[in-house]
Structure 1
Amino acid sequence: MRVAIAGGSGFLGSVLIRLLEENGHEAIILTRHPDTSGNIRMVGYLKDGAFPERELGDIDAFVNLAGTSINAGRWTERRKQDILSSRIAATNEVIRIIRAMEKKPEVLVNASAVGVYPTSETAIYSEEGQTGNDFLADVVKTWEHRASEAGKEGVRTVFMRFGVILGKDEGALPLIALPYRLFAGGTIGSGRQWVSWIHVLDAARAILFAIENKHVTGPVNTVAPNPLRMKEFGKTVGRVLGRPHFMPVPAFALKTALGEKSLLVLEGQRVAPAKLGAHGFLFRYPEAEDALRDILKKE
């Protein structure tokens, strides 16, 4: 199977590429800056004079992970615009490429996020749950709407609504773990907010599962089946690292330091992987402590 990946050089993309290769598939990365020196084929896109559809050949699946990280920098108006526009530009180009292809891919797997759901301490959201109306929810809804254009080309379309992806060097975990490494870890905000998380390997496995299973379509909550409240999640990080959990981080301090972006850690959603479960996906790391021990085991 040949799989084209926009955003394949990032955090999740690199894990997905290894997984594809381990399973005998070919990965092709779409990037603004192709590097021809490596073993992985790269094709230029999103730049003048680039027509990747001429270089890709026949592909079986398209994966779109491209977009500016929501974790970097304060959410200034300019930053928020970049978070949205980077996703829409990449998705528009993916749709254009698909339209230009004589032989269409069987499936487009497009990244999305659980931020589409309203924050709540009590609700449990399946894929049919209500959507929110804050900044992140609006980004996700616009993103999914643009990706859904692939369906008009007869391409099965899947939206992977990722929770907090846990990995060693990138994503949210290094920021969460840092205070514990400094012996200053503790409850963030009220501690009652939910953390719907997933090990980065399971996130990549879920993408491959969606590619290979023709009955998987539409939004897919890509989270582990056992979310934790922030207080318990923090305690688990401390336990795995052998560090205390005692120094609270008040909400006002984070709001002062991070502004609107503080909502990423002060509020959350309890999200259920209903569709993955219904289709028989088996998580390698269903429990947070096992996931964290795997990621942090070499420390």
Structure 2
Amino acid sequence: MHVAIAGGSGFLGKVLQKQLLNNGFRVTILSRDPDKVEKSEGLAAVKWLVDGARPEEELINVDAFVNLAGETINGIRWTSKKKDRIVRSRRAATKELIRLAEKMAHKPKVLVNASAIGYYGMSATETFTEASRSEATDFLATVVKDWEEQALAAEGLGIRTVLVRLGLILGKEGALPLMALPYKLGVGGTVGSGEQWVSWIHVEDAARLIAFVIEHPAISGPINATAPKPVQMKEFGKTLGAVLGRPDWLPVPEWFIRVLLGEMSNMLVRGQRVTPEMAIKHQFDFLYPNIEIALKEILDNNR
């Protein structure tokens, strides 16, 4: 099977590359600078989203598109410029994938489009599944809904479309090293009230789930990429401290997070409880179903 990945050089993308290659797939990375992609047996790169690029002429017999492309939502504050880049980058990449699919004689059978559990909005009390309807109007929910709508245009081309709603991805890159740093310095503690839910997933399970949905044609529409056991922030912090052998004693007040991060702070101080009902229904096997196992695997310095 031949898979083309947009955004394949990022945190999740690099792990997904390895997973697909291990599964015996052929992988092509769509990149603005393909010379920077480390080629290997089964792994190639094609230029796209730059002047003069004609990826449709190089993408031959592609069976699946995976779209991970887009400006990261991480950073200090969502300024108006940052928000604009977040929205525009996702629209541009998704629109280009749809254009490519239209042009290709051999159309991909599936588009796996990254999304986010931000779709559901924030809540301290609700539990969200793929069947949950969203009435959220905050920035992140609006971005996700727009992104998913763009991707669903693939269905009009007869392409199975899967919307992978990612939770907090835990790995050696991404948010976890920043979250672990205060603990390593001996000043770690619960963020905000500690009652807010953290719906997380180990990066390896996130990559495995994407590979899983590519190979399972019965799966379409939204699927939550979160571990089956979300935790409250106080449990997350306590477990993180225990795994690192550091105290969990210095709470970070909500007002400080809001001053520091502005609108982005909602992700940390409010959160949402999301469960992966579709993954469970289709018998996906999580390697890291609970937070202690996941954190030990990631933070073990001997690995």
Aligned pairs (5 A) from 1:1-299:
1-35=1-35, 38-39=39-40, 40-131=43-134, 132-168=136-172, 170-298=173-301
Please report how far the alpha carbon of residue 173 of structure 1 lies from its aligned counterpart in structure 2 after TM superposition.
0.7
Q: Distance in 2 between matches of 1:219 and 1:14?
A: 23
Structure 1 segments (4+ residues) deviating >3 Å: none
Q: Map Cα deviations across residues 4-52 of structure 1 (whole Å, 9 max, x no partner).
A: 0000000001001101111111110001111176323110100111110
Q: Is the 8 A contact 1:158 1:216 kept in 2?
A: yes
Q: Is the 8 A contact 1:119 1:268 kept in 2?
A: yes
- Structure 2: which amino acid aligns with 1:186? G
Please report how far the alpha carbon of residue 73 of structure 1 lies from its aligned counterpart in structure 2 after TM superposition.
3.2
Gapped regions of structure 1 (runs ≥ 5): none
In the alignment of these two chains, the number of paired residues is 298
- Structure 2: which amino acid aligns with 1:51? R
Q: Is the 8 A contact 1:64 1:109 kept in 2?
A: yes
Q: Is the 8 A contact 1:180 1:243 kept in 2?
A: yes
Q: Is the 8 A contact 1:203 1:222 kept in 2?
A: yes
Q: Secondary structure at the match of 1:30?
A: strand
- Structure 1: which amino acid aligns with 2:26? E
Q: Secondary structure at the match of 2:34?
A: coil
Q: Distance in 1 between matches of 2:164 and 2:121?
A: 17
- Structure 2: which amino acid aligns with 1:147? A
Q: Distance in 2 between matches of 1:37 and 1:112?
A: 26
Q: TM-score, normalised by structure 1?
A: 0.98
Q: Distance in 1 between matches of 2:200 and 2:97?
A: 27
Q: Distance in 1 between matches of 2:174 and 2:277?
A: 24
Please report how far the alpha carbon of residue 295 of structure 1 lies from its aligned counterpart in structure 2 after TM superposition.
0.4
Q: Distance in 2 between matches of 1:31 and 1:189?
A: 39
Q: Map Cα deviations across residues 84-130 of structure 1 (whole Å, 9 max, x no partner).
A: 11111110111111111011111000000000112111101010112
- Structure 2: which amino acid aligns with 1:130? R
Identity rate of aligned residues, in percent?
55
Q: Distance in 2 between matches of 1:107 and 1:284?
A: 25
Q: Secondary structure at the match of 2:58?
A: helix
Q: Is the 8 A contact 2:76 2:260 kept in 1?
A: no
Q: Is the 8 A contact 1:118 1:130 kept in 2?
A: no
